[in-house]
Structure 1
Amino acid sequence: MNFKDINIGLLVSKRAMECNIDISRLCKFFNCSSQDISAMYDSKSLDSEILLKWSRILEYDFFRLYSQNLILYSPISADVKKNKESSGMPYFRKNIYTKEVIDFILEMLENGEKTKGQIIEEYNIPKTTLHKWIVKNRK
């Protein structure tokens, strides 16, 4: 899944149904109409403040969908490493490997899509971390 494939409105709608939250509660929480809620469900993207509110009420980190996507599809490059020292912006290491990320990486390895070396280099995953995942997966 890349950024183009993330339909956040659909995912929010799915989670809201799972949580069985009444539409009137959502309308009150967002201070909007049921038509506005439906419009959010139909939206491919949502404003970050709105998404934060959805994350709170549905107790789900929707931002994680995007950060996982960055981990998988935007590996750190040499330029980023060099520029992080001169940037005034916070720098976050890509070390939050969820089960989905680990499964994705191991599947590429098992299917022969990528070698261990390619995965280590392209996704900036430490060799020891990859080895631990492989050993755990075999159990």
Structure 2
Amino acid sequence: MNYKKIHVGSLIEKRVKELKTSTNRICTFFKCSKEEVQNIYLSENISVDNLLKWSKLLKYDFFRLYSQHLILYSPPTRADEIIHSKVMKTSLPEFRKNLYTQEIIDFVLELIESKEKTCQQIIDDYRIPKTTLYKWISKYKEKID
């Protein structure tokens, strides 16, 4: 899975096919026509409320794709921004920043296995802590060998 460029419509269509969900059920759920469903499959982006509905209907967290994109491709945080953000309070819910899913781990290990990136490049590019990366390598060594 390429997390850099997310085409959510095609991913929804893929999930619909995996679950063999009928178009009639989708149309009833969304109160829309078959043409509108086809347009969603062609859409690179859809509204958040519709994405939430698709996630519920297809029992898949499509938002996680975007979270993984943020983990892999968000710009590095400068030290002064970290200090400022710790002082500043927010009324929004706070989540752990680095939530490494199995897909992320597999993606990183594949980069190492294919020699596309070195361990140091991964540490620098994706800001994955060195100890975390080496724990993954030792834990999932059979995938790399």
The C-alpha deviation readout for 1:73-102, integer Å capped at 9, x for no partner, is 115412552343225244433332122211
Aligned to 2:109: 106
User: Where has structure 1 moved over 4 Å in runs of 4 or more?
Assistant: none
The C-alpha deviation readout for 1:72-131, integer Å capped at 9, x for no partner, is 111541255234322524443333212221122223334162333x43344332333212
Change (3 A) 1:124 1:93: farther
Q: Where do 1:40-59 residues align within 5 Å?
A: 40-59=40-59
Aligned to 2:23: 23
What runs of 5+ residues in structure 2 fail to find an aligned partner? none
CA distance in 1, matches of 2:57, 2:130: 39
Give the number of equivalent residue pairs: 137
Question: Does structure 2 retain, via aligned residues, the 8 Å contact 1:75–1:124?
Answer: no
Tell me the C-alpha RMSD between the 2 structures. 2.2
Identity %: 47
What runs of 5+ residues in structure 1 fail to find an aligned partner? none
1:138 equivalent in alignment to 2:138: no
Question: Does structure 2 retain, via aligned residues, the 8 Å contact 1:109–1:115?
Answer: yes
Between stretches 28-37 and 54-63, larger displacement belongs to: 28-37
CA distance in 2, matches of 1:124, 1:77: 10
Aligned letter for 1:93? R
The C-alpha deviation readout for 1:31-52, integer Å capped at 9, x for no partner, is 1111111111111101010000
Question: Does structure 2 retain, via aligned residues, the 8 Å contact 1:8–1:43?
Answer: yes
TM-score when normalising by structure 2: 0.80
Aligned to 1:67: 67
Change (3 A) 1:121 1:94: farther
CA distance in 2, matches of 1:112, 1:47: 35
